[in-house]
Structure 1
């Protein structure tokens, strides 16, 4: 797959950009045995459908405009609106996307209608790896993490504005640190049986996958394959979201 700064993208009314992630195949999980047991067994995953992923996390300003309130802990300073929204549970995330889809039902991007949703866990790792196979998309050395993400060693005990660090090779910011990100998958503690592009669903499950590490986690938790979970009712000042926009299968005809 050939993605990155040259791939198609669109920008919404808040100045947020969503970049095309094209289909491809990658190895999901810990290949070299240096990760956690829940990252194994590593498995080959095929991404069959293209999607557009937010270059940055959803900001406090974006959330406030859609929801009418800002639950975030870190609201100090004139630039707080550019920080990621946090302290949002899954019920609130689902309501946010419902309102966004209602509002944008007839809004076209690149000539297409689509819908907003969370990334699946496999989509998230595919975009985070950006065609690489190391611990991070920039390599395997912890010392280089400071240039790419906010974590316990450099955050100063707070979130920061989105997009201040270097993007990964496909143009996505803050995939390693800043805030963990809700995924659409229910939590399953291993990759036994493999994975697909679609989210894992477990009857009556209350735990969801969260990815990316946060401003308060150590560097190991920001690796591309590192994974964790949160109860759907959890609110944390280190937990936010990143949006996917997917074109609808049925598009209006030119005559319409």
Structure 2
């Protein structure tokens, strides 16, 4: 797994446009540096955990190969994966980001609607989403890192699995 150091800072969190559950936009300060995964967790990475801890990995909806983003993982499943990673490393190195840390990382220091600007016509260069995937029959997670990264070098922050 590859990680990127995200430096502490302030940003405007939330959205006014069409997302009532994201209102109001407000300033948030991230007080400590943290690390974010450069890519989403893949089927292959998660499969190693399941095979070692629980026996046999059943792909379910994860049939796109080992390099695709893993899907169908609950919060508890994610915590199990994180505990397994920490056991392997001998410490408490890994955890899920907070909602604020995730949004800060996705925005990557920008103030525009997307980390690449306000032009939605460019979204397909950075993300798998309804119009370039789901609506054309690709109803699955794609291989991670196929689209352009955000300005902080993080991939798939605008879309692949959620």
Structure 2 unaligned blocks of 5 or more = 52-56
Quick check: 1:132 aligned with 2:105? no
Residue 24 of structure 1: how far off its partner (Å)? 0.6
**Structure number with higher strand proportion:** 1
What does residue 143 of structure 1 align with?
121
Quick check: 1:177 aligned with 2:155? no
Residue 157 of structure 1: how far off its partner (Å)? 2.6
Q: Distance in 1 between matches of 2:2 and 2:63?
A: 23
SS state at 2:46 partner:
helix
TM-score, normalised with respect to structure 2? 0.89
Q: Distance in 2 between matches of 1:29 and 1:135?
A: 10
Pick closer, same or farther for the CA change 1:85–1:70 going to 2, 3 Å: farther
Quick check: 1:85 aligned with 2:53? no
Q: Distance in 2 between matches of 1:157 and 1:99?
A: 29
Match of 2:100 among 95, 116, 122: 122
TM-score, normalised with respect to structure 1? 0.57
Determine if contact 2:71/2:141 at 8 Å carries over to the other structure.
no
Determine if contact 1:162/1:173 at 8 Å carries over to the other structure.
yes
Match of 2:9 among 18, 24, 35: 24
What does residue 34 of structure 2 align with?
51
Quick check: 1:65 aligned with 2:48? yes
Q: Distance in 2 between matches of 1:94 and 1:157?
A: 26
Quick check: 1:75 aligned with 2:63? yes
What does residue 111 of structure 1 align with?
none
What does residue 54 of structure 2 align with?
none
SS state at 1:46 partner:
strand
What does residue 227 of structure 1 align with?
none
Residue 70 of structure 1: how far off its partner (Å)? 4.6
What does residue 130 of structure 2 align with?
152
Structure 1 unaligned blocks of 5 or more = 1-15, 107-113, 181-256
Determine if contact 2:42/2:144 at 8 Å carries over to the other structure.
yes
